[in-house]
Structure formats: structure tokens, C-alpha cells
Structure 1
């Protein structure tokens, strides 16, 4: 199983409440409902453990992918292309990291 971790900040000028509403109503149910996705979470960074530092990223997405080939097909659909385009309007240079469990 592949886990994709997405790290990002919101673009300058983006209303955080608008992003959060979109994430809850559109992104999470759409991407989380793909056949290739076992689970999808969006996490809000709240702080750095034992530090007063600001986290380097505001948001973290975690997608558990059961089939990467199917995932490629799933994200190519018109619905997911629309969601991805909308995401790009919110996220400032997101980083998509593919991981595997040790």
C-alpha cells in the first residue's frame, strides 16, 4: 500500500474558512470516495511539539492508496480534475510525497 502525504500552505489571500468548507464538502468526500483510496484525511497543523515555532506547513493530507494504477485512472476523471483544479486555487505549491510502510 502506498501512502501519499501532501504538505501545503494556503495561498496568500485565501480565506481559510472558505478553504475549510470546500475541503469538508468537496475534497474529502470526493477524493476519499475513490475506489483506489482506502482513507483520506486532511489535518490542520496546530504547532511544533515542545516549541513555540510555527509549523512549516498549515495543512497535511494523508491518502492511503490501495492500488496506484487504479488511482492514476481515478484522478484522471473529469470530476477529480475539477477537484484538483480547485485545490490548486487554494494550495501554495503543495508537495506530494509517496511513501511506503517499513
Structure 2
């Protein structure tokens, strides 16, 4: 299952602060979980065909191989700390997906 986290930084959180934390803590921690095949973070840069600002500053893509294991991983002390820090820096919506097969 792919989960997308779309979010903006909260007021008072700088791009530098968030991105340093993402590189140093969030990415390596999430990518070390048994339940995650891949965890990537993207900075939004533009809306295709428009001069408008993207509605979200960042998008995380979590490729989860086992939702039960993911729930267990999320309860670990380190993931509770990561999640708490993340929630303190961003306003986020998590979108769960189901792939369409032709």
C-alpha cells in the first residue's frame, strides 16, 4: 500500500529546520522499519501549467509492505518520538491508496 502524506509547515517552522530534521531523522528512521519498502520526501516546486503556488509544500511517499507490521512499528518509542516531532512541525493529511489494475 502506498500512503501519501501531504503537508505544509506550521507557522514559525523554517524550511531549513524541517528539511534538516527530515534528512537527519525522519528519512533514516522510517526507511529502517521492517514494514516500509521505501520512504521518500518531496518538496513541491510548481503546479504544472500554472503560476499558482502548490497547495502543499511537501509530499511524503510511504511504500508499506505490511500494514499490521506498520501499526506495530508506529508504536515503537522511536517512532512515537518521530511522529510527535513531525506533528509539531506540520499540518498534515495522510492519504491511503489502492492501486488500480488494468
**Band the TM-score falls in, shorter-chain normalisation:** over 0.9
TM (norm. structure 1) is 0.96
| Consecutive aligned runs of 4 or more in structure 1 exceeding 6 Å deviation | none
Unaligned runs of 5+ in 1: none
TM (norm. structure 2) is 0.96
Alpha-carbon separation, structure 2, partners of 1:31 and 1:76: 13
Corresponding position of 2:93: 95
Matched residue of 1:100: which SS? coil
Alignment of 1:28-39 (within 5 A): 28-39=27-38
Corresponding position of 2:42: 43
CA drift at 1:89: 1.3
State how many pairs are aligned. 100
Alpha-carbon separation, structure 1, partners of 2:22 and 2:80: 15
RMSD: 0.6
Unaligned runs of 5+ in 2: none
CA drift at 1:25: 0.4
- Structure 2 residue 85 is matched with structure 1 residue 86: yes
